Amino acid sequence: MDQLSFAEAEYDHKRRKTRREAFLEEMEMLLPWKKLEAKIKRHYHRNKTGRPPYPLSVMLRIHCLQLFYNLSDPMMEDSLYEIESMRRFAKLRLSERIPDETTILNFRHLLESHHLGEKLLQEINKHLASKGCKLREGTIVDATLIEAPSSTKNKEKQRDPEMHQTKKGNQWYFGMKLHIGVDADTGIVHSATGTAANEHDITQADKLLHGKEQRVHGDAGYLGIHKREEHKDREVEWHIAVRPGKRKVMVEGSDEQKTEKAKASVRAKVEHPFRWVKGIFGYDKVRYRGLDKNMNRLCLLLGFTNLLRGRSLGYTG
């Protein structure tokens, strides 16, 4: 290894560990790197001519950094030059070649073109299952809106054709919906789909169930789900909330109200992944045009969320 630069030596002897460093150390430990690399390796071809490619492990780590901090490709390149903790997480040295924004973009396109986001989410879930964090008897289904730019001041002079507008309460939104299925006991996301914002939640429910659950929980948007054709042979207990208007007129302390409160306490687990994806990882607005590109990113963010949830439950890497 090359001799340490003065900047790197000073970094090693600084007195305080930052929150970024603590988080990156945690993700270093939690992520099953070898398993994720194995899923990508067959698609990561080496160039026969030109400069040798960066190691797959380096590019995967850079991609994870980009998702942790919701960075664009140019911002990711700049951060690798400026922030020592990010370079160390990516296993890079300032004296070595640093991937440029085009290389970072090409790696992201590689993951998107082979739909690897969902496969990596499932690989993370298998890793958690091997640690004892397995799916139980219940699933919670829910969806959240993720906004997209509604402006037509772009090269195509039009909004993203795969996004749509919808009304929630008295507010109009333009964008997509992220639908997820969450284990009712652990809060681990086991399935996810993406649709335009105007797609009704209930239409995606069959894609969010793993088939072995005995109970399904959902909010009032899923009322009548048991009558749909795709669920007619499904033997589960449906725990669907009543509409807000009906709940408001319930007698305080009645059995009906207690039942609804019990349902709500279970459904609360489904909000935690949305908080991480939108509030912590900052993906409350889409970064790309098209559903597939955004879902590729969202699946990995859900995988990170599952690892952090698994850590809090005692299933560490």
Burial of 309 (0-12, 13-18, 19+ CB in 10 A): buried
| 275 vs 284: CA distance, rounded Å | 10
Asked whether residue 1 is assigned to any structural domain, the reply reads no
Structural domain tally of the chain? 2
Largest CA distance in the chain: 75
The answer on 148 and 95 residing in a single domain is no
Count of Cβ atoms closer than 10 Å to residue 266 Cβ: 15
Asked whether residue 66 is assigned to any structural domain, the reply reads yes
The answer on 170 and 96 residing in a single domain is no
- Which of 114, 147, 172 is the C-terminal boundary of a domain? 114
pLDDT per position as a tens digit, 36-71 = 999 999 998 765 555 678 999 999 999 999 999 999
* pLDDT, averaged across the chain: 90
Asked whether residue 128 is assigned to any structural domain, the reply reads no
CA torsion sign for 178, 184, 188, 191 is: negative
Asked whether residue 124 is assigned to any structural domain, the reply reads no
pLDDT per position as a tens digit, 99-155 = 999 999 999 999 999 999 999 999 999 999 999 988 888 999 999 999 999 888 777
| 175 vs 114: CA distance, rounded Å | 24
The answer on 109 and 155 residing in a single domain is no
The answer on 249 and 187 residing in a single domain is yes
Q: What is the pLDDT of residue 163?
A: 94
Q: What is the pLDDT of residue 233?
A: 87
pLDDT per position as a tens digit, 102-116 = 999 999 999 999 999
> Whole domain around residue 98: which residue ranges?
6-114
The answer on 182 and 70 residing in a single domain is no
198 touches 291 (CB < 8 A): no
Percent of the chain with pLDDT over 70: 93
The answer on 183 and 297 residing in a single domain is yes
DSSP the chain: -PPPPHHHHHHHT-S---HHHHHHHHHHHHS-HHHHHHHHHTT-PPPSSSSPPPPHHHHHHHHHHHHHTT--HHHHHHHHHH-HHHHHHTT--TTS----HHHHHHHHHHHHHTTHHHHHHHHHHHHHHHTT----SEEEEEEEEEE------STTSS--TT-EEEEETTEEEEEEEEEEEEETTT--EEEEEEEETTS-GGGGGGGS--S--SEEEE-GGGTTGGGSGGGTT---EEEEPPPHHHHHTSPTT-HHHHHHHHHHHHHGGGHHHHIIIIIIS--SB--SSSHHHHHHHHHHHHHHHHHHHHHHTT---
Instruction: Output the CA–CA distances (angstroms, integers) from residue 233 to 19, 126, 139, 236, in the order listed.
Output: 50, 28, 17, 9
Domain with 267 in it: what CATH number? 3.30.420
- The structure tokens 């749909």 sit at 228
310 touches 316 (CB < 8 A): yes
Asked whether residue 127 is assigned to any structural domain, the reply reads no
Asked whether residue 32 is assigned to any structural domain, the reply reads yes
The answer on 83 and 151 residing in a single domain is no
The answer on 291 and 148 residing in a single domain is yes
282 touches 275 (CB < 8 A): no
The answer on 161 and 108 residing in a single domain is no
| 128 vs 115: CA distance, rounded Å | 21
Q: Is the pLDDT of residue 317 over 60?
A: no
Stronger pLDDT, 27 or 48, i.e. the higher one? 27
The answer on 279 and 190 residing in a single domain is yes
The answer on 304 and 230 residing in a single domain is yes
- Which of 114, 146, 180 is the C-terminal boundary of a domain? 114
The answer on 38 and 171 residing in a single domain is no
Question: Of 7-16, 17-26, 101-110, which gets the smallest average pLDDT?
Answer: 7-16
Q: What is the pLDDT of residue 1?
A: 46
Average pLDDT over residues 157-176: 90
Q: What is the pLDDT of residue 48?
A: 53
Count of Cβ atoms closer than 10 Å to residue 108 Cβ: 21
Asked whether residue 121 is assigned to any structural domain, the reply reads no
Asked whether residue 18 is assigned to any structural domain, the reply reads yes
| Tokens linked to 109 | 């396109």
pTM: 0.91
Percent of the chain with pLDDT over 90: 75
